[in-house]
Structure 1
Amino acid sequence: MSLKVIAGSARGRIIKTLPHDNLSIRPMLGRIKKSIFDIIQFKIPYSIFIDLFAGAGSVGIEALSRGAKKVVFAELSDISLSLIKRNVNMLGFNDKAKIVKCDIIKDFAVLQDKYDIIFMGPPYKDENKKALALTYPVLRNVMRYDILKDDSILITQKHIKEPVGNLVGLECFRTEKYGDTIISFYKHAKLENIRNETGF
C-alpha cells in the first residue's frame, strides 16, 4: 500500500506503508491528514515536530515537506521503523529526521526535549484486536516530562469510544470528528496567545 504527500516540497511523492489490516501500522486517511495540516499550516515552518506512534512516518513526513525544521519519529515496531527509514531516505529528509525506537508509554524519558508540535496517533487495537486506550497515558507523560513549549500545539487522534480524562495544565481547545475518529487540539491551559497565532 502507498500514500501520497499532500503538499510542500515533496508534494505528490509516494510514501510506502502496509495494508490497512496490519494493526501495528494504521495509516491516517488522507482527508484527515489534510484537515489537520490545513488547521496548523502556519505553525509548521521552522518547527520542531514529534510524531508519536509514527507508523510509516506519514504525518512527520508531511510536516517535513511543509517546512518543519526537524521531525522526531518515535515508534517501537521494527516493521514501522524500517518503513520510516525507507521513506525518509527516499524523500531526502535524512538531515531533518531523527528516528527513535522506544516504548512510548514506558520509555518516554528518551524523548524529553521541547517541541513546537506534538502529534500522537496510537493504535486503536492490539494484535489480538483488543481495544487499547493509550491517549491518556501519553498525555500524562507529555505533562510529566514537560515537552511542551509555552506556545506548543498537541494533536491527538483516537477512537470515538476511547475515554480521555482531563489533565491539569492542558486544555483541549478544538475537536474535529471524522467517522469514528476524533482529532483533538491541546495547548497549555495557562496561555491564550495560541489562538491569536493560529487563528482559532
Structure 2
Amino acid sequence: MKKRVERKSGRKHSSNQTGGSLRIIGGDFRGRKLPVLSAEGLRPTSDRVRETLFNWLQFDIAGADCLDVFAGTGALGLEALSRGANSVFFLELNKHNAQQIQQNLITLKVSDADVIHGDSLQWLQQAPPKVFDVIFLDPPFHQGLMQPAVELLFQNHYIKTDQAWLYLEQEKALDWPKLPEGWGCYREKTTSEVRYGIFKYTGSDA
C-alpha cells in the first residue's frame, strides 16, 4: 500500500472525533460501510449526489486516473476506486481524516491510491505527478477556495483538456467559477443546499 502523508492539503477540518460511516454506493465494494470521523465543517458528499454523479460518469470512470481535492472523508475517491478507477490521489488537510482514508484503503485492500496530508492549494502549485482524467473538487464552504483551486488545476496542467471531466460541488447560491475558454457545464443539479455538476472541454464555441 502506498502511503504519502506530507505537506498540508485543504478541506473541512477540526478535531478528531468518533464519527459515523460511509456507504459505498456501487461497484466492487458496493454496500460496504467504512468508518469516518466527525469533524467540524466536514460535509461528505451525500449518497444521493454520489449516485447521480457516478451515473453521469459511468462510461468514463473505469480505468481513469482521479484526483480528489479537499477529500474530507474520501467518499468521492473511494467510490471511484470501487467503480474501477485506475488510481486516485486524495488531498486532505486534516491529519486524522487523512489517516482514516488511508485506513479505509487498507481495509478495502486498495493499492492504487495515494493519500497526501497537506494544503490542497499549496500542493496544486507544483507540477502534477500525472495528468488526471477525472478531478473531484468539493472545497469547504464559505472559504473562497473554489476559484483559486480551479485556476491552479489549469495553470499547472493537472487536467487532460480534450477528454477530462471536472466535478464541482459548491454552495447552491453561488455562480460557477470562471473556467478557461472552451470549458462548460455538461450536467448539473441542485439540492436544498448544494449545487453540483460535471464540466468538460467542448471547444472554443462552448
TM-score class, shorter: 0.7 to 0.9
1:17-60 CA deviation, whole Å, 9 max, x = no partner?
123x621x321111111110111111011110111111121111
SS in 1 for 2:121: coil
Q: Is residue 2:154 matched to residue 1:143?
A: yes
SS in 2 for 1:3: strand
SS in 1 for 2:139: coil
Q: Is residue 2:101 matched to residue 1:88?
A: no
- The amino acid across from 1:134 in the alignment is L
* Residue matched to 1:157: 169
Q: Is residue 2:144 matched to residue 1:133?
A: yes
* Residue matched to 1:79: 96
* Residue matched to 2:11: none
SS in 2 for 1:9: coil
1:78-108 CA deviation, whole Å, 9 max, x = no partner?
0210111111111111x11111123112231
* Residue matched to 2:135: 118
Q: CA RMSD in A?
A: 1.8
Pairwise CA distance, 1:182: 0.5
Is the 2:167–2:196 Cα contact (8 Å) retained in structure 1?
yes
Q: Which of the pair is proportionally richer in helix?
A: 1
Q: Report the TM-score, using the length of structure 2 for normalisation.
A: 0.82
1:143-188 CA deviation, whole Å, 9 max, x = no partner?
1111111200000110113344423233223221111100121112
**CA separation of 1:90 and 1:111: change in aligned 2, threshold 3 A:** farther
Q: Is residue 2:81 matched to residue 1:37?
A: no
Q: Is residue 2:77 matched to residue 1:60?
A: yes
15, 20, 24: which is aligned to 1:5? 24
Q: Report the TM-score, using the length of structure 1 for normalisation.
A: 0.85
Pairwise CA distance, 1:110: 4.1
- Whole-Å separation in 1 of the counterparts to 2:156 and 2:57: 24
**Which is worse superposed, 106-115 or 56-65?**
106-115
Output aligned runs, 1:164-183, within 5 Å. Answer: 164-169=176-181, 170-183=183-196
* Residue matched to 1:198: none
- Whole-Å separation in 2 of the counterparts to 1:36 and 1:102: 26
Aligned length: 183
Is the 2:69–2:91 Cα contact (8 Å) retained in structure 1?
yes
**CA separation of 1:29 and 1:10: change in aligned 2, threshold 3 A:** same
* Residue matched to 1:15: 34
**Which is worse superposed, 163-172 or 76-85?**
163-172
